[in-house]
Amino acid sequence: MPHIRPATSADLPFIHSLAPRLAGVADLPWRSADEVMRFQRSFMHETLEAPKPGAVTLVAEDEAGTKLGFVHAEPMLDIFTDNLAAYIPLLAVAEAAEGHGAAKVLMAAVEDWARRQGYASLSLDVFASNSRGRAFYERQGYGEETLRLVKDIR
C-alpha cells in the first residue's frame, strides 16, 4: 500500500518529470504534440511553483521511498452554489506505478483533505480522449457535469 505525504520542493523534479505522461493522453487532432506539451509544462509550472492559497500537493511513495505519483488540489468557487469547493488540476502516476493502486490512494487522500477543509464537492478535468482516466474517475464516483467542445476554425 503506497504511503501518502505532503510534497516538498525536493519533489518538484519528479512531479515535473510526469508532464509527458499527462500530455501523452491528449489525443487532440487540431493540436500538435508540441502545443499540448508546451501547455502541460506551462500549466504545471504555474500551478505548482506558485500554488493558490489553501492548495495541497500530495506524493505517493512505496515502502522503499520510491515516488509513485502525485496529486494537487486547490480551492475553487463552485459555479452552481458560489461556495468554495475543491478542484484537482493535476494527478499523475509514474508509468511503473500505473495499475498498482497509487492513483486510487492519492484520490482517497485528497478527498479526505477536501472533507477536512469543509468542502462539499471535489471536481477535476480530464482530457476527453483519456478513456482510461475517465473510467478510473468513474470508478471513484465522479460524474460528468459539463463538457467543453472545441472546433478548429483556422
Note whether 37 and 20 are within 8 A (CB). Answer: yes
Q: What is the dihedral of CA 117, 8, 133, 53, to 10 degrees?
A: 40
CB-based burial label for 128 (10 Å; 0-12, 13-18, 19+) = middle
What residues in the chain have per-residue pLDDT under 70?
none
Note whether 107 and 87 are within 8 A (CB). Answer: no
Domain boundaries, given as residue ranges, for the chain: 3-139
pTM for the structure as a whole: 0.93
CATH number of this structure's domain 3-139: 3.40.630.30
- Written as nine digits, the cell of 95 is 508509468
